[in-house]
Amino acid sequence: MKASGLGTACVALAASTLLATSAQAARADRSVFGTTPGGQSVESVTLTNAKGMTVRILAWGAVIQQLSVPDRHGHVDDVVLGFDTLAPYLGKEPYFGASIGRYANRIGAGKFTLDGKAYQLSINDGAQSLHGGTTGFDHKLWTIEKVTSGPEASVTLSYTSPDGEEGYPGTLTARATYRLNEKNELAIDYSATTDKPTIVNLTNHSYFNLSGALSGKSIMDQLLTIPASRYTPTDAGLIPTGEMRSVAGTAFDFRKPTRIGARVTDGHEEQLVLAHGYDHNWVLDRQGSGLSLGARVEDPATGRVLEVWSDQPGMQFYSGNFLDGTIVGKGSVIYRQGSAMALEPQRFPDTPNHPNFGSARLDPGQTYMHHMRYRFLTSAK
């Protein structure tokens, strides 16, 4: 039967709509990134949208290995530190892009008590337990469960931590889902379930430099905002004292956009001396239980802006103090102090030992959830 002119037009419109929708669909591509010395294949999934943003996630550590975004002129750069190959991720490195667990940040002396029973975690940071212990989730091979393309490109990975691993009670099954949309937003959803009472605190540990990971430029001229009226000062071991101190009149007041380097060398601020810069948790001025802004960074030179949104109560800001020039990263760039910053939304450090910090407890039948989002924008010059 011969199509009418109207029918032909409708077919053409439908075809053009399909092509436009397809062109705008975010894409997920799966490939092999490397192989462990034991012969295990480590896959990666690359998420790409039509706006020029690309994110590569590794099955090793559920790591963000690459995160490329455009600047105000449309020039695209990778803005996270890391390595070009798998081998350096397998060794001792500062958690570049990793998913952190079971407990992000520090637990004093690696000790906590749950239901009257004392637990001793592995010690890997002076006298403390840091980021899950000697072999945390960052050094585990996660399983890629699902990969999708469409309006959002996504990948879901999982890791099951056995009872007693690193000293933690209970078999914990953790999942990380990364979702990229056409608004240049990367959402990360962490979840976990357990078969015994335990503690959990999951986050991502990407190191950002909005000038570009290969630029060699310092983050110290970038502008940081943290909407928090209080922070948690620490002792010499970088363990919170339990106090929630006002940021007013201190080097920790980022309630308005402030150059990161403006006060970082203030020798009169004891907390900066103890941590060799910023490595502290801010008590976010949250309202409600949903996503809220936890931090905003702007690079005046490129116009790139990063907003970190989360449903967690705290924001750990680390100014890269212990990048000491001994690590050679992507493109043979040497990573030095100030090469990047980490912004880690999470429950407070050492929460299990400070009742006033809330609870990090997870019981059987419950599901731990942490929703976070990296939103990338550009500002005018």
Percent of the chain residues past pLDDT 90, beyond the cut: 90
pLDDT single digits (tens) 179-196 = 999 999 999 999 999 999
The pLDDT value given to residue 264: 84
**Whether the predicted pLDDT of 18 surpasses 50:** no
The pLDDT value given to residue 266: 75
**Are 55 and 46 within 8 A, CB to CB?**
yes
DSSP tag of 207? E
**Whether the predicted pLDDT of 3 surpasses 70:** no
**Whether the predicted pLDDT of 17 surpasses 70:** no
Cβ-defined contacts of 56-59 (< 8 Å, 24+): 57/155, 57/157, 57/178, 58/33, 58/86, 58/89, 59/33, 59/141, 59/142, 59/143, 59/144, 59/157
**Whether the predicted pLDDT of 304 surpasses 80:** yes
Number of helical H runs and strand E runs in the chain: 3, 30
CATH of range 27-378; options 2.40.50.140, 2.70.98.10, 3.40.50.300, 3.90.1330.10: 2.70.98.10
Domain ranges of the chain: 27-378
- Kindly name the residue from 131, 205, 280, 354 that is annotated as catalytic: 205
Please give the C-alpha separations between residue 17 and each of 10, 21, 218, in angstroms, as whole numbers.
Answer: 10, 6, 45
Q: What is the pTM of this model?
A: 0.93
**Whether the predicted pLDDT of 11 surpasses 90:** no
Neighbours of 1 (CB within 10 A): 4
The pLDDT value given to residue 361: 98
Higher confidence at residue 25 or residue 87?
87
The pLDDT value given to residue 288: 85
**Are 46 and 54 within 8 A, CB to CB?**
yes
**Whether the predicted pLDDT of 353 surpasses 90:** yes
Burial class (CB in 10 A: 0-12, 13-18, 19+), 158: middle
- Phi, psi at residue 7, to the nearest 5°? -65, -45
The pLDDT value given to residue 24: 63
Average pLDDT, the chain: 93
The pLDDT value given to residue 267: 67
- Kindly name the residue from 152, 185, 298, 344 that is annotated as catalytic: 344
Neighbours of 66 (CB within 10 A): 20
**Whether the predicted pLDDT of 22 surpasses 70:** no
pLDDT single digits (tens) 143-175 = 999 999 999 999 999 999 999 999 999 999 999
Q: Residue 379 and residue 70: Cα distance in Å, rounded?
A: 11
Q: Is 75 assigned a catalytic role?
A: no
Q: What is the pLDDT averaged over residues 285-294? A: 93
